[in-house]
Amino acid sequence: MKKLLKPILLSLIAIAISANSYADKKNFELIKNTDIFNAILKELSLFYVDSIDAEKIIGNGIKSMLYSLDPYTTYIPKSEEHDLKFMTTGEYAGVGALISPRDSLIQISSIYEGNPAQIGGMKPGDLILEINGESMIGKSNDYVSNHLRGKANTLAVVKVKRPMVDTIVTLDITRKKIYIPAVSYYGVIEEGIGYIYLSSFNTQAASEVKEALKDLKKRENIKSLILDLRGNPGGLLDEAIGVVNLFVPKGKTILETKGKVKQQERIYKTSQSPIDTTMPLAVLVSNESASASEIVAGALQDLDRAVIVGDRTFGKGLVQTTRPLPHDGTLKITTAKYYIPSGRLIQAIDYSHRNPDGSVGRIPDSLTTEFKTAAGRIVRDGGGITPDIKHEYPKQSNIIYYLTKDYHIFDFATQYAAKHKNIPVVGEFSLTDEEYAEFKEMLKERNFTYDRESISLLKKLKELAEFEGYMDIAGETFETLQKQLEHNIDKDLETFKETIKKELESEIVERYYYTKGSMERVVKDDTCIKEAAAILNNLEEYKNILSPKEK
């Protein structure tokens, strides 16, 4: 026995020495490089030819260091703590308006209903000239945003230019605590089918979905539900668990997190009584649905509780927590990876292995692994959540992109709102042919034009034909084709009239009925919602999708 114990003990001692040696080496490298960094800063401050902005260069260094790890590990200085609070709670103190750059000024792009901006008379399209006597001309979006925000019950005196009536107006707006709901809109799509749009996972997300669902069941007597997570970037992990808990029984494992330290290893289970565990459920996702959205969609897919419809999701399977830093700073740091009920990790990008140019690629489908849902359906890891039903969206016309990007649709809505005190209710409002003609006239006055993909591709093909010597035989064909494809704005505006009118009507409705009205308008024409509704209306198809298939 002694002969056996001796080599085992020697091996354990060797392992312990090796481990300590490795730890000592890591600590030495950390101390060495910290000393080098401090020495460089000292030399720069003493001998660099110009004065240096220490906060700026160190801040840039910190950003580069953290970004080399992943985009979610970030340093948040005290001056930006309100952004962190807003992301987690949906609350901030300000006027309740969205802003965007417009030439050398900042424009009001949207207003939240019932908040100080609306009460104080601010309108979409207003261009901000001054705030509390300070000029905002040429200032950045962040600079103006910080001046609109402030302590609750303080006064913001905002001077704006109202372009469509060409007047300058001074507005006295009292800042208040602003709360942006997680559930932007809910209602009934068609008889028996409820719809909830969840835009974020803030501290009230699960309770807002719960109240919306209860209201729809009680007031509208819905038999099935569409939960829309498209474009939802995520948020609080506990709120994601809470949303799943509304549809699955108490005690179900939803998530497991694994990190470097033991404290980050945790199993999350549903802890409350659900609202409804049998109602047919469809969850809509897009390539911008990330993090907490993917937990909800992935868990409901793994538990065979919902049909997932849309595009493959973003693929963020990393968990962040916050750590306090000196001088009231905060480090948001990736501390764990999460695994959904089937055991799969949906993280689509491996940030630990970067390309020589610093870029990071998605994990190839060939390297992903098969897992199984509770019912035995095959699902895969490493690439976000792949929907059960992939929805093909109609290709958007190029003209819509430029009408939106260059503010033509926005400006016409601003002009329309200046001329009309009110409009019919959302379901009854539509632009007349005469009003659409006014829009076309506005574009003509602005000499509107746009790049067409077909012309661009033809130009490239022509250049290639010239290079390869085919123009002698194909020159006339190119000229004929170019004439046929040349811009005819009037023709294009008629060809895409119905699509353009829908965009105009949605923008105009928002001026009178805010986000809720705009959402109500949009969902009725949404092709992905219609496809989900068709599945929910066909119980046999719904069950078939959630059943395992022969491999």
* CA separation for the pair 229, 226 (Å, rounded): 10
Neighbours of 354 (CB within 10 A): 12
Q: Residue 264 has which token pair?
A: 């980050």
User: Which runs of consecutive H residues, i.e. helices, occur in 420-470?
Assistant: 433-445, 453-468
Catalytic residues: 291, 302, 316
Supply the Cα-derived Rg of the chain in whole angstroms. 29
Q: Are 538 and 320 in contact (CB under 8 A)?
A: no
Provide the Cα torsion 145, 146, 151, 154; round to 10°.
Answer: -70
Q: Are 300 and 282 in contact (CB under 8 A)?
A: no
DSSP code at position 361? P
Q: Are 437 and 500 in contact (CB under 8 A)?
A: no
User: What is the sign of the dihedral through the CA atoms of 381, 387, 393 and 396?
Assistant: negative
Q: Which residue in 196, 221, 279, 200 sits closest to 523, CA to CA?
A: 196
The residue written with tokens 């095959």 in the block is 378
CA distances from 386 to 2, 346, 380 (A): 58, 10, 8
Q: Are 264 and 208 in contact (CB under 8 A)?
A: no
Angle 535-538-541 from CA coordinates, rounded to 5°: 75
| Continuous segment of H or E residues that includes residue 243 | helix 237-245
Would strands 105-111 and 193-198 be described as parallel, antiparallel, or unpaired?
A: unpaired
Neighbours of 193 (CB within 10 A): 21
User: What is the sign of the dihedral through the CA atoms of 369, 268, 334 and 34?
Assistant: negative
* CA separation for the pair 365, 150 (Å, rounded): 48
